[in-house]
Amino acid sequence: MFAFLFAFGFIAYAQQKSITVAAERIMPDLHLTQFQISLLEQAFVIGYALFQLPGGLFGQRVGARRAFAFIGLLAFVAMVATAIAPAYFGAETVFVALFAAQLLLGVSQGAIFPISAGVFGAWFPPGRWALVQGLQTAGLQLGAAVTPPVVAILMVSLGWQQALVWISVPGLAVIAWWAWYARNTPKEHRGVSAEELREIGDHLGSEVDSAITIKRLLRVLADRNVVLLFISYTCMNYVFYLLANWVFLYLTQERHFSVLESGFLAAAPPFAAAFGAGLGGVITNALCPRFGIRWGYRLVPLIALPAAGLLLIATIHAGNPYLAVGALAACYAFVELTEASFWGSAMTVGGGDTMAVSGFMNTGGNLGGIIGIPIVGYLSGIGAWNAAFFIGVGFALVSALAWLGIEPDRPVPQPLHH
């Protein structure tokens, strides 16, 4: 089950990030500006953000097995639509078609991580939640790391349209296998023994729950911990989107690397982020038994987020372009160290409403992208990359400060029928 969720995240990030690499050829081919490319990325983030909470509720209502199969197929359709849009739309309307396709991709992927949190809650004991969340995030970043060189090679040899299609094809096999093999909870799976059920424990997460009401949802979303997680994740994700979406163009425009060299160098930050995410899961998993859940989850973001801000400043002042790549990679690693704390806290706070809480928190995360993408798109378009980085420093510090008020050991009260 973990391997499936690892694969879904890997494929999702490969799909997401391919457009940022293909942009180098899309702009001259379709006569689009860099700001228009930022709007395409914004379209994805809008759809992604808007469907976080509905996606989590969708997963709670229909179960993870059906939900993942549906959203996986929808994402594949969106990627194909992005690739074939220029063949069916003229120069005046192709941007609108690409915008719609990227919006659909965002909607289709919005439910992935809220539902994943519910699956982790059902299939793993609470003492492993931070670890599996960190390791899954490592998978996302491996997908992001592989994408620039793979898409760059495919783009040079086959064109950007075929590159976008081929990057998505492996997902079809994963979806088919998941639909056949997966179950919502361990007790539904014939391959899980009674001994394994006792080890996992009987706790809530991924079961179908059609009883959730608006009143209950509003009570959950008004919880102080849920609100602070939302705020902190919003701020952290300005930095995340800066690093996830703009490194390739930063290297070509500001540091003057070639397309292929930028494709390979742009893989360094997400590879570092993958390492950071996995390490964050291991560290947080070790801190919780020693310091308790509250400080076990707090310590990593309180240290890592200010460090990420300092590394953005180091990137600005790096005279050697390769040192700048190293600083960006280290910054991304520190940002991703915090993912286990965020998602593990959403699970401990959310309990039976983990998918809803995770979806709301990740709505905030993508609000960071909605805020950040046009800012970075505008500033980078006029050559003001340093200003975009300094804004990221401020967001990182605010995100860290919010953790002083988050209490992961204080869950949202559950309704009596749970």
3-state helix, strand, coil in the chain (%, to 5): 85, 0, 15
Give, for 24, the enclosing helix (H) or strand (E): helix 2-30
What value does the mean pLDDT take over residues 145-155? Answer: 84
| Mean pLDDT, all residues of the chain | 87
Three-state DSSP state, 191: coil
Under 8 Å between Cβ of 226 and 357: yes
Band of residue 229 on the pLDDT scale cut at 50, 70, 90: very high
Under 8 Å between Cβ of 64 and 113: no
- Asked whether residue 415 is assigned to any structural domain, the reply reads no
Task: Convert the pLDDT of each residue in 82-139 to its tens digit.
Answer: 999 998 888 779 999 999 999 999 999 988 988 998 888 888 888 888 889 888 888 8
Phi and psi at 411, nearest 5°, equal: -75, 160
Does residue 303 or residue 264 have the better pLDDT? 303
- Asked whether residue 357 is assigned to any structural domain, the reply reads yes
Q: Which pLDDT does position 203 carry in this prediction?
A: 59
Q: How many domains does the chain have?
A: 1
Does residue 32 or residue 402 have the better pLDDT? 402
Does residue 400 or residue 185 have the better pLDDT? 400
What value does the mean pLDDT take over residues 177-204? Answer: 84
Beta-carbon contacts of residue 349 (< 8 Å; ≥ 6 apart) = 223, 225, 226, 229, 357, 408, 410, 411, 412
What tokens appear for 365 in the block?
């995360």
Q: Which pLDDT does position 415 carry in this prediction?
A: 59
Does residue 148 or residue 115 have the better pLDDT? 115
Short-list 99, 15, 394, 59, CA closest to 234: 394
Q: Which pLDDT does position 45 carry in this prediction?
A: 83
- Asked whether residue 417 is assigned to any structural domain, the reply reads no
Band of residue 207 on the pLDDT scale cut at 50, 70, 90: low
Q: Which residue has the tokens 């729950």?
A: 209
- Asked whether residue 416 is assigned to any structural domain, the reply reads no
Q: Which residue has the tokens 């849009």?
A: 85
Asked which of 308-317, 318-327, 333-342 is least confident by mean pLDDT, the reply is 318-327
What tokens appear for 364 in the block?
């905030």
Which CATH number covers residue 355?
A: 1.20.1250.20
pLDDT above 90 covers a percentage of the chain that reads 36
Q: How far apart are CA 173 and CA 20, in angstroms?
A: 25
- Asked whether residue 396 is assigned to any structural domain, the reply reads yes
Task: Convert the pLDDT of each residue in 339-397 to its tens digit.
Answer: 999 999 998 898 778 888 888 998 898 888 888 888 888 898 888 888 999 999 999 99
Task: Convert the pLDDT of each residue in 26-65 to its tens digit.
Answer: 888 888 887 888 888 889 888 988 888 888 888 888 888 9
- Asked whether residue 120 is assigned to any structural domain, the reply reads yes
Q: Which pLDDT does position 204 carry in this prediction?
A: 53
Under 8 Å between Cβ of 363 and 52: yes
Q: Which pLDDT does position 418 carry in this prediction?
A: 42
What value does the mean pLDDT take over residues 273-290? Answer: 92
Q: Which pLDDT does position 416 carry in this prediction?
A: 45
Band of residue 333 on the pLDDT scale cut at 50, 70, 90: very high
- Asked whether residue 78 is assigned to any structural domain, the reply reads yes
Statement: residue 180 has pLDDT above 60: yes
Domain residues for the domain of 264 are: 2-402
Q: Which pLDDT does position 212 carry in this prediction?
A: 65
Does residue 305 or residue 37 have the better pLDDT? 305
Full-model pTM: 0.78
Measured CA distances, 158 to 152, 164, 173, 307 (Å): 10, 10, 23, 41
- Asked whether residue 84 is assigned to any structural domain, the reply reads yes
